[in-house]
């Protein structure tokens, strides 16, 4: 009995080891393939006299601006130009980790623009004093500049990212880090060509920020083009194959 018990324990441990190895192999394959498909490259960041490194995949693009870039004035914004416009279906997540001076004019202005000659843009104004005011405006060729949402008190939050998204059917949607504040606004399509960031109306005004950074994560196109979309399927196949192998091995022994 003692011999049989030890033998069974040995087999059980062996099966567990194979299962762990199978799962580990599956995860390793997913991670390696994901890294392989990522394409770190360079996009032009204007008004900064340098190439700006950003992380890209088939469906995503991430870039970070340091606080000093948000202290430019409206005539000289920092402009991030995408190599290819983000067409129709996209979502931009904005992680605002900036430290603001405590005055009424401290703010960050973000303009999401179509490529020229289009005059369409979506403008976000995130005030950084104690009010945390939040204003969302749009500009189109037909209607001109219009403010669509104004909240002068606790208008945005760092609990989550501020998001701006557009879809062919749903139109434009904006969240403030906690909830939706603008939903299903029709713009007759919107292709993102660039993003402008600045913080001062005039160059003579005091700086808005003194620390931190602001990060932009842009998703566009079909998520099925991303290898991460298939991770659940890869895991199911990997685990299922390992279990079938173990059952077959046990049956033979």
Indicate if 27 and 149 belong to the same structural domain. no
> What is the reported pLDDT for 247?
67
- In a shared domain, residues 93 and 171: yes
Rounded Cα distance, 156 and 8, in Å? 60
Instruction: Give yes or no: residues 74 and 31 share one domain.
Output: no
Pair 109, 14 in one domain? no
Based on the fold, state whether residues 165 and 246 are members of the same structural domain: no
Does some domain include residue 79?
yes
Taking residues 29-45, report their average pLDDT: 41
- Residue 53: inside a domain: no
Q: Mean of the pLDDT values across residues 90-106?
A: 95
- Alpha carbon separation from 121 to 60, 86, 178 (Å, rounded): 21, 13, 23
Residues 205 and 239 in one domain: no
Q: For residue 33, what are the domain limits?
A: 2-37+229-252
Number of domains within the chain:
2
Please say if the pLDDT value at position 85 is more than 60: yes
Same domain, 195 and 233: no
Does the pTM exceed 0.75? no
Looking at the predicted structure, is the pLDDT value of residue 228 above 50?
Answer: no
Residues with Cβ < 8 Å from 28, sequence gap 6 or more?
A: none
């Amino acid at each position: 009995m003692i011999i049989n018990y030890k033998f069974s324990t040995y087999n059980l441990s062996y099966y567990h080891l194979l299962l762990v190895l199978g799962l580990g192999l599956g995860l390793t394959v997913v991670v390696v393939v994901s890294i392989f498909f990522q394409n770190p490259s360079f996009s032009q960041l204007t008004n900064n006299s340098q190439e700006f490194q950003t992380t890209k995949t088939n469906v995503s693009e991430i870039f970070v601006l340091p606080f000093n870039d948000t202290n430019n004035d409206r005539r000289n914004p920092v402009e991030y130009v995408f190599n290819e416009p983000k067409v129709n279906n996209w979502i931009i997540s904005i992680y605002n980790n900036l430290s603001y001076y405590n005055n009424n004019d401290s703010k960050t202005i973000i303009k999401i623009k179509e490529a020229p000659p289009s005059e369409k843009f979506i403008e976000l104004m995130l005030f950084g004093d104690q009010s945390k005011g939040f204003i969302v405006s749009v500009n189109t060729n037909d209607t001109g500049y219009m403010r669509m949402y104004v909240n002068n008190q606790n208008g945005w939050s760092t609990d989550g990212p501020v998001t701006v998204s557009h879809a062919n059917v749903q139109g434009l949607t904006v969240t403030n880090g906690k909830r939706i504040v603008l939903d299903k606004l029709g713009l007759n399509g919107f292709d993102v060509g660039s993003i402008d960031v600045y913080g001062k109306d005039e160059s003579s005004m005091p700086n808005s920020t003194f620390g931190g950074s602001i990060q932009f994560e842009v998703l566009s196109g079909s998520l099925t083009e991303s290898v991460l979309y298939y991770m659940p399927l890869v895991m199911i196949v990997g685990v299922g194959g390992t279990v079938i192998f173990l059952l077959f091995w046990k049956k033979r022994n």
